[in-house]
A and B are shown apart, each in its own frame.
Chain A
């Protein structure tokens, strides 16, 4: 069973602060996806990283895939209240077209 542990589990910060969310596993993934979910809605795909060491930026969000493709991080710069939500990483098994295993989740609250 492929497990993905996220840390921290909860995070409450002031608007304007920076934060990093970590996603760790002992398994190798062919890709790693990050989602944000708001109450009452389904998860929304933010980014997919595929290559070990890959870094992708989405406005104030920076995503990195570990060199060994076992871990990933999400860094948010100057957090805003609109960033509030449940952040989920998800690893896709090797070989393509495989099921996705979701991480344990990080609840982020950005206080105005």
Chain B
């Protein structure tokens, strides 16, 4: 298994600003992903964080808005850029291997 931590756990930001969320895994994982979730609803995949190369984004998500870094096998960051109230959500990172994926506690973002 893997233990995943995220920072910050929550933040309130003004529109037009950017926030970087950090995700740390306690062991080397093959895959890391970033998701968005509205409270009580399912998860929407934003992108796959690829180690040493550009992330792979899902339809509706673009690099300029959600730049992602993954410099090694245990760490990744997601930046939410030029935020608007529509970006208010819970952002979750996950890491794992084939057939198993572990999640961080999430970052609750509110944009005012």
Chain A residues at the B interface, C-beta cutoff of 8 Å: 1, 31, 33, 35, 39-45, 48, 50, 86, 88, 90, 92, 96-97, 99-105, 107
Contacts and interface: CB of A to CB of B under 8 A. Distances in A.
Of residues A39, A92, A99, which shows the largest number of chain B Cβ atoms within 10 Å of its Cβ?
Answer: A99
Contacts, number: 58
B98 A33 contact: no
A100 B33 contact: yes
Contacts of A86: 40
B99 A31 contact: yes
Main secondary structure of the interface of B (DSSP, over half): strand
A35 B37 CA distance: 14
B30 to A, nearest CB: 6
Interface residues of B, number: 25
A88 B31 contact: no
B111 interface: no
A44 B2 CA distance: 11
Of residues A35, A42, A44, A107, which shows the largest number of chain B Cβ atoms within 10 Å of its Cβ?
Answer: A42
